[in-house]
Structure 1
Amino acid sequence: MKVLVVGANGQIGKQIVKQLQNNDQHTVRAMVRKEEQAEELKKNGVDAVIANLEGSKNSIVKAAKGCEAVIFTAGSGGSTGPDKTLLVDLDGAVKTIEAAEEAGAERFVMVSALQANNRENWNEKIRHYYAAKHYSDRILEASNLSYTIVRPGGLLNEEGTGKVKIAGNLDERGSVPREDVAKVVVASLTEENTFKRGFDLVSGETTVADALKNLS
């Protein structure tokens, strides 16, 4: 499967690109904002394209052409204001959903946030971020794409364990290494049990493959 990774220069995005490169089931195309980012990826043998989520939808359509799946893991980052969150995490995500449909992709995996689907459990300090995630997820659910929405807890930079806990609704707060989020995202591409559904994700005791197969 040819997979476009949107947000390929981000911390999770880099992990996803690396894992896709090492996976004989898939080929990867990385979408980034800057020429120097694309050049660095190309040096490492990655097909890279330049498009800006704040730019035209057509540039994203062009980036997605020929891809069967799209992974959205872009974000405005914690140092920007609510305006950038709306432009990247909400409108950028929606543009990418529209572009994926227009380009003929069938699969779409969204990296969201723990409990973004449940307003009662949003983090008060970053409600604008959760609102952006909530509504972009809902637009994805209403699309014609075969989607999976992965909602990870607090993101860690430590080495992944390959063991997770996932459920359609996790009441508990928790965290998870970015490497394990990437593993779940990549595995979800072909795990039919994740099609047309979303789930929360934290570290746990179950292998990624078993956790996805047993998702109920």
Structure 2
Amino acid sequence: MNVLVVGANGQIGKMVVEKLQESKQHEVRAMVRKEEQVADFESKGITAKLADLEGSVADIQLTMEGVDAVVFSAGSGGSTGYDKTIMIDLDGAAKTIEAAEKAGVKRFIMVSSIASNHREKWSDDMKPYMAAKHYADQMLEKSDLDYTIFRPGMLKDEPGTGKIQLGKETAIESIPREDVASTIVSALDHSNISRQAFDLISGNTEIKEALNQIG
């Protein structure tokens, strides 16, 4: 499967790209917004395409030629203002969904955020970010794409355990970024999770087994 990672220079995105490059089942392509990022990925033998989520749908669509699946792991980051949250986490996601439909891509994996589907759980300082994730997820759910939405808990910078808890509703707990990336890569081979959304936190079940258990 040819997989485009949008937000490939982000923390989760980089891990997804690396794991896809190591896999024997998939070919990976990184979408980035800076020329130096293209050069960095290409120096590692990874195909990279230049496009900006604040640019046009057509430019994003061009990066999807020959692509079977898209992973959207882009984010504006904690150091930017709410304007970038809207333009990247919401409008950027919407443009990517539209581009995927126009390009004939079917498989789409979205990295969202835990509790984005429950307004009553949004803290005041996180409301703009959560609202962006909430409506981006809704757009994907209303699309014709074969989507899976993962809503990770609080992200940790520590080695993955390879074990997760996956469910429609879980406690608001944490998970290493590496386990999120591993779950995304494994999910590409699981048709049983099509057109569904899941909370994703650390747990006691091996990733593949957790995905296999979904009915």
The alpha-carbon deviation at position 202 of structure 1 amounts to: 0.6
For 1:115 and 1:22, the matched residues in 2 are separated by: 32
The alpha-carbon deviation at position 73 of structure 1 amounts to: 0.2
For 1:116 and 1:209, the matched residues in 2 are separated by: 25
Note if 1:198 corresponds to 2:197.
yes
- The 1:66–1:152 alpha-carbon spacing in structure 2 relative to 1, beyond 3 Å, is same
The alpha-carbon deviation at position 34 of structure 1 amounts to: 0.3
Q: Which residue of 2 aligns with 1:184?
A: 183
Q: Which residue of 1 aligns with 2:151?
A: 151
Secondary structure of the residue aligned to 1:64 is coil
For 2:123 and 2:72, the matched residues in 1 are separated by: 22
For 1:149 and 1:182, the matched residues in 2 are separated by: 13
CA RMSD of aligned residues (A): 0.8
User: Percent of pairs identical after alignment?
Assistant: 53
Contact 2:165-2:205 at 8 Å conserved across structures: yes
Q: Report the residue type matching 1:52 in the other structure.
A: D
Q: Report the residue type matching 2:175 in the other structure.
A: V
**Aligned residues between the structures:** 215
Q: Report the residue type matching 2:90 in the other structure.
A: L
For 2:69 and 2:39, the matched residues in 1 are separated by: 23
Runs of 5+ unmatched residues, structure 2? none
The alpha-carbon deviation at position 39 of structure 1 amounts to: 0.2
TM-score by length of 1: 0.98
The alpha-carbon deviation at position 215 of structure 1 amounts to: 2.8
For 1:124 and 1:183, the matched residues in 2 are separated by: 31
Q: Which residue of 1 aligns with 2:18?
A: 18
The alpha-carbon deviation at position 173 of structure 1 amounts to: 1.6
For 1:213 and 1:186, the matched residues in 2 are separated by: 14
Summarize the alignment of residues 122-137 of structure 1 with structure 2, pairs less than 5 Å apart: 122-137=122-137
Runs of 5+ unmatched residues, structure 1? none
Q: Which residue of 2 aligns with 1:215?
A: 214
For 1:207 and 1:136, the matched residues in 2 are separated by: 29
Secondary structure of the residue aligned to 1:193 is helix
TM-score by length of 2: 0.98
